[in-house]
């Protein structure tokens, strides 16, 4: 009976051991609040059945496979919510390292996975692991048997790629009577926040660093030039992240962007794991999500074409008629005509020296234009009429002048719409600040950008990019649009422009206002802590302070002040044309009158000459002929001629 008794005791021990393992699995994953569990067991069907029964009764969907079987690990462990995974590495002749290798290769040690490992001793268990994918958020526990209970160890590594070491911390225990006891509570991030000076690689684009200044000093200093603000901003934020978690940044400086590179050198560096973090904020695009992981959007930015909206350089021929509405002009004309007719009638009744309609029209127009006019009569009626005309002209003249002055003072600046279509149609000269991502902006598929791109490509290569100082100077002269980052252009505009020029400043965006993001590589072990730290920086106001520090202030336009601009030649041209037209018309009339008078006088003089010669031919003496002849030629009527004419 002894062999049978021993077999019974062994079976009882195995059942008890199976039951303890299954209960530990259930208790641990209930504590972790997971709803799905997958496992890698030693292949014992009784143990697997008992484990599945306990987990299912606790409300967890369960799947268990033997650790050494051929399994598609990525597909088996794929999840869109928290997944519990247990692995029994005590199984004889089974290689479980492939499970951990696949877990590291496919980033299965993040928030989505809770690992529980059953081992026989600590050293053997740690040697079986591949901790290259471990990070500060890894939830990985090793369960080891003790004399009276089981001991749990918390295992993580900050970043093995950058020199991190495996950390093993006592987590808790499990006993038959007491069940699971977890002593290491609290947030994982808070407990593991000390990176012990680990060195992380951070890359950024820096274009204007002087050779004699180190990269760190350049990024930390303010300087007099407003250059590389994006990189300085990102570096300051990541410096705060490094201080919070006690790690060090090894900086990588990039200063060249290939023309045909659509994503930039920094994204390529992140994709091949050459850097952990990018301190240069980048625009969010779908393509870049395949190169790196977005941490948070932090830097507000935009780029635009800037130019002055100055008074129109086109002649407006009807501008003189603008002060009065059309019906007002019609009434003035009607009143003028009636006034001319009434004045002419009054002058006729008073038997004035000149009572024609022309002189009445001249008097009325002279009164409207505030000019002098002759007094043709001493009668009361004509004087009353002249006073009425004078008062009417005074009122019209003052209303007209006041309307012009008011229109000039209150005329709004008609600025161009914020559209690249309008900029192209204006045929304005353009240039841009040489920024590394300008060609990237032209790849935007917005219709207005694609409409603008051929217009830009038609420019000669030598005239496309000019320094900020030259661009601001050409904006100041007018009829020129300059593209750049407002943070680079605004300080120069504030120094060079007066208040009126600042109020005339117009912007047409190429990059619409957006927020640029800070990025990490796809498998970065610093991604989660950077996100947590940046959220804390944003809520504490440090981010807002850095934005104000690194952003240029928009030049202030005092809208309550009135700027009186000089009358340009284009505005005065209609008046000058009117004056010129009057002068030409006067010359033409003068020429016609002179020609008519000369023709009539010549004919009259010729007739007089022939009559004189005929009358005096028989009787006049030769010496008298010689005396009269020069007078006749000159057309002078002498007393002799008059006597001869009277005689005839």
Closest CA to 138 of 530, 529, 536: 529
Residue 277 near residue 202, CB atoms below 8 Å:
yes
Q: What is the mean pLDDT of the segment spanning 609-624? A: 54
Q: Is the pLDDT of residue 625 over 60?
A: no
User: For the residues of 75-131, what is the DSSP string, one character each?
Assistant: HHT--SS-EEEEEETT-TT---HHHHHHHHHTT-SSTTEEEEEE-SSHHHHHHT--G
Rg (CA), the chain: 49
pLDDT of residue 564: 57
Residue 301's beta-bridge partner residues?
Answer: 514
What b-and-e string marks burial along 62-72, b requiring 16 or more CB atoms within 10 Å of the CB? Answer: bebbbbbeebe
Token code pair at residue 344: 């002419």
Q: What is the mean pLDDT of the segment spanning 262-266? A: 84
Token code pair at residue 214: 């180190």
> Which DSSP helix (H) or strand (E) runs through 288?
none
Q: What is the mean pLDDT of the segment spanning 364-376? A: 73
Token code pair at residue 259: 């023309």
Closest CA to 557 of 432, 404, 412, 419: 412
pLDDT of residue 376: 63
pLDDT of residue 11: 39
Residue 206 near residue 257, CB atoms below 8 Å:
no
Measure the N-to-C terminal CA separation of the chain; round to a whole number of Å: 189
Q: pLDDT per residue over 496-523, tens digit each? A: 898 888 888 899 999 999 999 999 999 8
Q: Is the pLDDT of residue 364 over 70?
A: yes
Q: Is the pLDDT of residue 442 over 80?
A: yes
Pairing of strands 505-521, 292-308: antiparallel
Q: Is the pLDDT of residue 432 over 90?
A: yes
Q: Is the pLDDT of residue 215 over 70?
A: yes
Q: Give 647's pLDDT tier (boundaries 50, 70, 90).
A: very low
Q: Is the pLDDT of residue 633 over 50?
A: no
Closest CA to 203 of 249, 161, 248: 249
Residue 357 near residue 344, CB atoms below 8 Å:
yes
Location of structure tokens 């600046």: 413
The angle subtended at Cα 551 by Cα 266 and Cα 213, nearest 5°, is 60
> Which DSSP helix (H) or strand (E) runs through 403?
helix 380-410
Residue 534 near residue 277, CB atoms below 8 Å:
no
pLDDT of residue 29: 93
Residue 65 near residue 76, CB atoms below 8 Å:
yes
Q: Give 412's pLDDT tier (boundaries 50, 70, 90).
A: low
pLDDT of residue 170: 93
pLDDT of residue 150: 92
Q: At what angle do helices 527-540 and 229-245 cross, to 10 degrees?
A: 110
pLDDT of residue 354: 60
Determine how many CB atoms are found less than 10 A away from the CB of residue 276.
25
**Of residues 100 and 562, more confidently modeled:** 100
Q: Give 15's pLDDT tier (boundaries 50, 70, 90).
A: very low
pLDDT of residue 601: 76
Q: What is the mean pLDDT of the segment spanning 5-30? A: 62
pLDDT of residue 326: 83
pLDDT of residue 639: 44
Q: Is the pLDDT of residue 314 over 70?
A: no
> Which DSSP helix (H) or strand (E) runs through 216?
helix 215-220
The fraction of the chain above a pLDDT of 90, given in percent, is: 31
Q: Is the pLDDT of residue 610 over 70?
A: no
DSSP code of residue 152: E
Location of structure tokens 């808070």: 190
pLDDT of residue 641: 43
Q: What is the mean pLDDT of the segment spanning 80-101? A: 85
The fraction of the chain above a pLDDT of 70, given in percent, is: 83
Listed range (36-45, 231-240, 389-398, 503-512) with the worst mean pLDDT: 389-398
Closest CA to 292 of 254, 266, 331: 266
Q: Is the pLDDT of residue 616 over 90?
A: no
Q: Is the pLDDT of residue 372 over 90?
A: no
Q: What is the mean pLDDT of the segment spanning 209-228? A: 80
* φ/ψ (deg, to 5) at 406: -65, -40
Q: Give 562's pLDDT tier (boundaries 50, 70, 90).
A: low
Burial class from Cβ neighbours inside 10 Å (0-12, 13-18, 19+) for residue 391 reads exposed
* φ/ψ (deg, to 5) at 378: -100, 10
Q: Is the pLDDT of residue 370 over 80?
A: no
Alpha helices in 247-356 (DSSP H): 265-271, 326-349
pLDDT of residue 146: 85
Q: How many residues are there in the chain?
A: 648
Give residues with Cβ within 8 angstroms of 113, minimum separation 6: 77, 79, 82, 83, 84, 85, 103, 139
pLDDT of residue 225: 60
How far from 513 is each of 117, 417, 508, 510, CA to CA, in Å? 50, 16, 11, 9
Residue 343 near residue 364, CB atoms below 8 Å:
yes
pLDDT of residue 336: 84
pLDDT of residue 577: 79
Token code pair at residue 271: 């994709």
Token code pair at residue 296: 């948070």
Q: Is the pLDDT of residue 379 over 80?
A: no
How far from chain centre, in Å, is Cα 453? 17
**Of residues 187 and 141, more confidently modeled:** 141
Per-residue 3-state assignment (H helix, E strand, C coil) for 464-526 = CECCHHHHHHHHHHCCEEEEECHHHHHHHHHHHCCHHHHHCEEEEEEEEEEEEEEEEECCCCC
Residue 596 near residue 589, CB atoms below 8 Å:
no
pLDDT of residue 202: 95
Q: Give 223's pLDDT tier (boundaries 50, 70, 90).
A: low
Q: pLDDT per residue over 119-146, tens digit each? A: 988 988 898 898 998 999 999 999 999 8
> Which DSSP helix (H) or strand (E) runs through 281?
strand 277-282
Q: Is the pLDDT of residue 234 over 90?
A: yes
Closest CA to 428 of 366, 370, 477: 477
Residue 117 near residue 154, CB atoms below 8 Å:
no
DSSP code of residue 465: B
Q: What's the mean per-residue pLDDT of the chain?
A: 82
Distance CA 220, CA 209 (A): 12
Determine how many CB atoms are found less than 10 A away from the CB of residue 229.
20
Residue 363 near residue 386, CB atoms below 8 Å:
yes
């Amino acid at each position: 009976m002894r062999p049978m008794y021993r077999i019974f005791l062994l079976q009882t021990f195995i059942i008890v051991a199976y039951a303890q393992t299954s209960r530990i699995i259930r208790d641990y994953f209930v504590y972790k609040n997971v709803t799905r569990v997958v496992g890698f067991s030693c292949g014992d069907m009784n143990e697997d059945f008992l484990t599945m029964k306990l987990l299912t009764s606790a409300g967890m969907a369960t799947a268990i496979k033997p650790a050494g079987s051929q399994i598609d690990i990525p597909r088996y462990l794929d999840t869109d919510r928290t997944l519990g995974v247990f692995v029994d590495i005590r199984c004889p002749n089974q290689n479980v390292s492939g499970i951990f290798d696949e877990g590291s290769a496919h980033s299965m040690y993040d928030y989505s996975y809770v690992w529980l490992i059953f081992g026989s001793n600590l050293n053997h268990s740690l040697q079986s692991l591949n901790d290259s994918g471990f990070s500060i958020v890894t939830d990985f526990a090793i369960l080891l048997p003790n004399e009276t209970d089981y001991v749990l160890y918390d295992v993580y590594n900050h970043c093995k790629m950058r020199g991190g070491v495996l950390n093993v911390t006592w987590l808790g225990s499990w006993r038959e009577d007491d069940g699971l006891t977890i002593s290491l509570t609290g947030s994982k991030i808070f407990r593991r926040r000390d990176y012990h000076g680990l060195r992380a690689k951070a890359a950024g684009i820096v274009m204007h660093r002087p050779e004699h200044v180190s990269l760190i000093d350049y990024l930390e200093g303010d300087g007099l030039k407003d250059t590389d603000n994006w990189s300085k901003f990102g570096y300051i934020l990541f410096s705060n992240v490094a201080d919070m978690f006690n790690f060090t940044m090894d900086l990588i400086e990039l200063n060249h962007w290939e023309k045909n590179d659509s994503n930039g050198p920094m994204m390529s560096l992140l994709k091949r794991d050459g850097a952990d973090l990018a301190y240069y904020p980048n625009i969010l695009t779908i393509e870049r999500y395949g190169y790196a992981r977005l941490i948070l959007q932090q830097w507000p930015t935009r780029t635009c074409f800037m130019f002055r909206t100055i008074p129109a350089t086109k002649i407006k021929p009807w501008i003189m008629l603008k002060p009065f509405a059309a019906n007002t002009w019609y009434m003035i004309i009607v009143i003028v005509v009636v006034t001319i007719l009434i004045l002419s009638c009054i002058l006729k009744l008073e038997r004035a020296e000149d009572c024609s309609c022309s002189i009445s029209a001249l008097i009325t127009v002279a009164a409207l234009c505030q000019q002098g006019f002759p007094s043709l009569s001493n009668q009361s009626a004509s004087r009353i009429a002249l006073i009425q005309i004078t008062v009417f002209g005074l009122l019209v003249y003052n209303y007209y002048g006041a309307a012009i002055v008011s229109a000039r003072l209150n005329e709004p600046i008609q600025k161009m719409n914020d559209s690249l279509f309008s900029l192209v149609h204006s045929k304005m000269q353009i240039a841009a600040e040489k920024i590394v991502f300008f060609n990237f902006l032209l790849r935007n598929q917005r219709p207005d950008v694609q409409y603008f791109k051929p217009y830009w490509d038609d420019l000669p290569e030598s005239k496309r990019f000019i320094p900020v100082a030259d661009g601001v100077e050409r904006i100041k002269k007018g009829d020129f649009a300059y593209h750049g980052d407002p943070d680079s252009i605004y300080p120069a505009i504030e120094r060079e422009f007066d208040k009126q020029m600042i109020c005339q400043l117009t912007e047409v965006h190429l990059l619409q206002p957006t927020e640029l993001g800070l990025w990490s590589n796809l498998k970065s072990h610093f991604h989660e802590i950077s996100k947590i730290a940046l959220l804390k920086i944003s809520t504490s106001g440090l981010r807002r302070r850095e934005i104000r520090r690194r952003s240029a202030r928009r030049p202030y336009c005092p809208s309550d002040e009135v700027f009186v601009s000089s009358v340009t030649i284009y505005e005065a041209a209609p008046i000058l044309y009117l004056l010129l037209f009057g002068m030409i018309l006067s010359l033409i009339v003068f020429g016609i009158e002179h020609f008519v008078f000369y023709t009539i006088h010549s004919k009259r003089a010729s007739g007089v000459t022939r009559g004189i010669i005929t009358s005096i031919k028989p009787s006049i003496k030769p010496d008298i002929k010689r005396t009269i002849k020069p007078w006749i030629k000159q057309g002078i009527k002498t007393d002799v001629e008059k006597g001869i004419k009277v005689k005839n």
